[in-house]
């Protein structure tokens, strides 16, 4: 899962430096989530995902009820290889945020990365409905098959291609999670 805004174009190093100075002044004048979030985006653009994860985590502590910031923070923590921290944030969310589809998708992703298969299973079994999922986005089918492959790998070790095919046959993708593009021609 990519960290937010990594591939978006930006004006260049001079503009980034000026923006960094402005957001640093803003944060120094008054601790605020948006200055930290924006500094985190600059960190991502500079390939410093670890630094971005720290900034996003602090920003989220300052504004824990902002769903967009929660989603970005979870994405950055997962991209930084910190799924346990992402799960910790998910555990502290209020129910309205916790049940949001994109948050549940990211929580399941973090659970799989962390190796918490029971938590991932519970989320998948309860159903994850992402209202802003685009047709063709493979997040949900990837979660489904990653869960089943990790479950099988726990008993078998490394999976060969034939085993992956068998897992997909034995655990067909539920319609709820199928946003793949199909060529019916």
* pTM, two decimal places: 0.87
Provide the pLDDT confidence category of residue 6 given band limits of 50, 70 and 90.
very low
User: Residue 42: which of 27, 62, 61 has the closest Cα?
Assistant: 27
Region 20-44: mean pLDDT is: 93
Task: Give me the DSSP letters along 69-85.
Answer: HHHHHHHHHHHTT-HHH
Return d(Cα 133, Cα 100) in angstroms, integer: 12
Neighbouring CB atoms inside 10 A of 53's CB total: 25
Instruction: Answer for the pair 168, 145: CB distance below 8 angstroms, yes or no.
Output: yes
Nearest 5°: the CA angle 132, 125, 180 is: 45
- Are the C-beta atoms of residues 83 and 107 closer than 8 Å to each other? no
CB atoms < 10 A from the CB of 157, how many?
8
Q: How far apart are the first and last CA of the chain?
A: 31
Cβ-based neighbour number of residue 81 at 10 Å: 12
Q: How many CA atoms lie within 13 A of 114 on its CB side?
A: 20
What is the tens place of the pLDDT at every residue in 42-101? 999 999 999 999 999 999 999 999 999 999 999 999 999 999 999 999 999 999 999 999
């Amino acid at each position: 899962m990519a960290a937010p805004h990594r591939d978006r174009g930006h004006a260049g190093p001079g503009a980034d430096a000026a923006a960094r100075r402005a957001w640093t002044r803003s944060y120094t004048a008054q601790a605020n989530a948006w200055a930290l979030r924006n500094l985190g985006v600059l960190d991502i653009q500079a390939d410093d995902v670890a630094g971005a994860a720290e900034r996003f985590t602090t920003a989220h502590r300052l504004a824990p009820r902002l769903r967009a910031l929660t989603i970005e923070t979870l994405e950055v923590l997962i991209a930084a290889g910190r799924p346990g921290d992402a799960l910790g944030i998910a555990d502290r969310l209020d129910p309205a945020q916790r049940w949001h589809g994109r948050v549940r998708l990211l929580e399941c992703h973090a659970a799989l990365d962390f190796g918490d298969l029971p938590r991932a299973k519970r989320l998948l079994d309860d159903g994850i409905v992402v209202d802003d999922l685009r047709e063709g986005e493979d997040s949900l089918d990837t979660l489904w098959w990653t869960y089943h492959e990790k479950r099988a790998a726990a008993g078998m070790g490394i999976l060969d291609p034939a085993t992956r095919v068998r897992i997909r046959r034995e655990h067909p993708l539920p319609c709820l999670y199928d946003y793949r593009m199909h060529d019916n021609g």
